[in-house]
Structures are given as structure tokens and as C-alpha cells.
Structure 1
Amino acid sequence: VLDRALTLAERRAPKTILINTVQGKERIPLSSIVFVECRNHILSYHLSDGRALTGRTIRTSFEVAMGVLLAERNFIHPHKSFIINADYVERLTAQTFLMAGGFEVPITKSRYAQARSKYLQYFDLSPSN
């Protein structure tokens, strides 16, 4: 019974990520990430409270560095330099995801079909319905 209770408690605990910033390490809930941007191998985490945390320079590819996020069903990779959280999408157009806070995240032509499909599947609105 205790093992089952512990398993249930772990499922309910918010998932977090540890970000290595210039000020030190900061743990944030995945649910607070609106989108992540990578410029010149430096990650910027844009959060739901309006903050933008700047990480240290990454020495690997953006996809590898963001593997934890990309494993989650609500994170989408619509552009080589961006990963978005579907929970904060206000509108999807042919070229952008309009995010909460007014940010526009571009969608590359080569990733549009995959990004759109993943976004619609997230809300169980698959194109076949």
C-alpha cells in the first residue's frame, strides 16, 4: 500500500528541470516554461511569470540539450531554434505559434506538418476527426 501511495505521489509531483544559469542552478517546473529559444548555443527559457532565464552556453546540439522537454507530449519543436509548450499556444497559423504573452514563434516549412500534427494530437483533435 505504501509503495502504491508513493507511486501516486510521484506522478502528482510537478516535473522540473534544473537550469544552469550564470547566477547558478535554478530548478523550475516544466509547466512554467512557455518556450525555449537557442541563439549562439545559449538557451533562453521564457516562463509563464514573464521572466526569461538565460542558461550557460551549451556544448551539444539544441535537440540533445532539450531531450527532457522533447520527451514530454506538450513540448513541440517547430523551428531549429525554438521549443514551445502547447499549453501556452493561443493561436496556430501557417507560419507561427502565437504564444501567451504575445510572443510569436516561427514554424519552418519543413517542420510545419509535424508541429501541427503534434499540436492537434495534444488536444485530441487529430486531423482524421
Structure 2
Amino acid sequence: MRAAICDDQPQALEELKKMLLRIPAVKKVHTYSDMNNFWATLKDGAYYDVVFMDIDWKQDETGIDFAGRLQEACPYTKIIYVTAYTLDYVEDVFLNHANLSGLLKKPVNQEQLERNLEKILREQSEAEGKLLIYYQGSHIAIPLQDILFLESRLHKSCIVLKKQEYLCNEKLETLKGQLDGRFLNCHKSYMVNMSYIREFRGREILLEENHVIPVSKARAKEAKERFFEYMSARM
């Protein structure tokens, strides 16, 4: 699990980071005391499973405002609010529930923190084997086994199935984290489901349904090796 903490108090950032790193499921924790740095990191392709968002910032926008913007940019990132003033924000929190997964009161209690993360881990487990995307105003889950390939198109991603395509706002780099070992990154703009490869043909891959996918020169050798390893393991 990849976590980010957004809080303008350095001591609060460090304390919560230490608590999170005691939890085995948490692999990475990044801290942000400046929201401009946080947005810049997301723009560069960073993805977090959960963001701990302090509500009370010393500026016009609150953490609740930031959470609304975060949901638009990363619709599958879960949000846990952190505040010393719980009662002051209860109504706003639940009226603007952008992917809300919890509300923690400062100072944060380790047991309550772990319970909140266990809830998120259960939800992730239930979604295992599926690609979650935000499409035409709804969250949908696409079984990985049904996906032929994913393609990056003008800062969006196209998920191609045998009979259907989904164009979503998430970047390909962001969606990669939901894919498993059957997907091959043969080109910076493509992720191919190796189960549907019919032939490696020079610098191209021929898929079922007659899709032809380019293979970049830099990735050609590794792509072929990975495909042969994948097919050997299935025999």
C-alpha cells in the first residue's frame, strides 16, 4: 500500500509517518506540507492508494476542498481525514464524502489507524483481478482477463476488450499499478495482455481480433523474453 500524508504541521507529518511504517501492509509513505508539491507529484504520475488529509490548513481552502480536487484527479485514491477539531467539520466531511474511508482525531491512535487501513485493504482484496476506472460518471470494474490491451491516448487511457473500448481520464502510468504479471509493457504507450498474443512479428505484436501493437526498439528483447517465460509457465 502506498500512502501520502498532507499536513502543514511538520511534527504531525513525522508522527503519522512513523505510525504508518509500523504497519506491514504499508510499503511507501510520502509526506507533503505544501499542497502545490503534492499536486505537482500527482501530475508527474505518482499514485497513492490512500491519502491522509489534514482538514485545517492555514489558507482559504481546507483539506475537504483539496479532497474534492483529489477525487477528480485520482478517483480510486481513498481519503482519510485527520483533524484536531472533529466536531467542527463533521457536517462538511459527510456532505462532501469524496472517497471517504475514515476520519481520525489528532493525536492519532494506532489502533484506530490500523482499523481504517484494514477497511481499505478489504476493499482492495474484493477488487483483486479487476481494473477499476472512472467512466462516464460511474466507477466500473473490468476483469483483467477480458482486457486485450491498454493504450495511452493524449494523457488518457483506452482499455480495449474484444467487443468494447473504454476511454478514461486516468493515465496509463497510473493504471499500471492495478495490472498483474500477464500484462507486458512493450511500448511506453501500450500494455498488452500476453494471453491474447498470437505472434511476435519483428517489432510488432499481433493480438487476437487482429490488433497490431508496436514494440519499441529499447524494449524488444525484454518483451520477447518475458512473453516466452509467460508461455512456458502456462505449459
TM-score bin (small chain): 0.7 to 0.9
CA contact (8 A) 2:182 2:194 kept: yes
Q: CA deviation at 1:63?
A: 2.9
Query: Does 2:198 match 1:90?
Result: yes
Tell me the percent identity. Answer: 25
2:178 to 55, 64, 68: 68
The two structures have a TM-score, normalised by structure 1, of 0.76
**Structure 2 counterpart SS, 1:101:** helix
RMSD between superposed Cα atoms in Å: 1.9
Which blocks of at least 5 consecutive residues in structure 2 are unaligned?
1-124
Query: Does 2:216 match 1:122?
Result: no
Query: Does 2:164 match 1:51?
Result: yes
Q: How many residues align?
A: 108
In structure 2, the CA distance between the partners of 1:14 and 1:68, relative to structure 1 (3 Å rule), is closer
Aligned to 1:34: 148
CA contact (8 A) 2:151 2:157 kept: yes
Query: Does 2:125 match 1:15?
Result: no
Whole-Å separation in 1 of the counterparts to 2:137 and 2:161: 17
CA contact (8 A) 2:147 2:160 kept: yes
Specify which structure has the higher proportion of strand.
1
Q: Which amino acid aligns with 1:15?
A: G
The two structures have a TM-score, normalised by structure 2, of 0.43
Aligned to 2:114: none
Whole-Å separation in 2 of the counterparts to 1:57 and 1:68: 12
1:20-63 CA-partner distances (Å, limit 9, x unpaired): 11242111100000000001111000013x100111253xxx33
Specify which structure has the higher proportion of helix.
2
Which blocks of at least 5 consecutive residues in structure 1 are unaligned?
1-9
Moved over 6 A (4+): none
Whole-Å separation in 2 of the counterparts to 1:119 and 1:45: 20
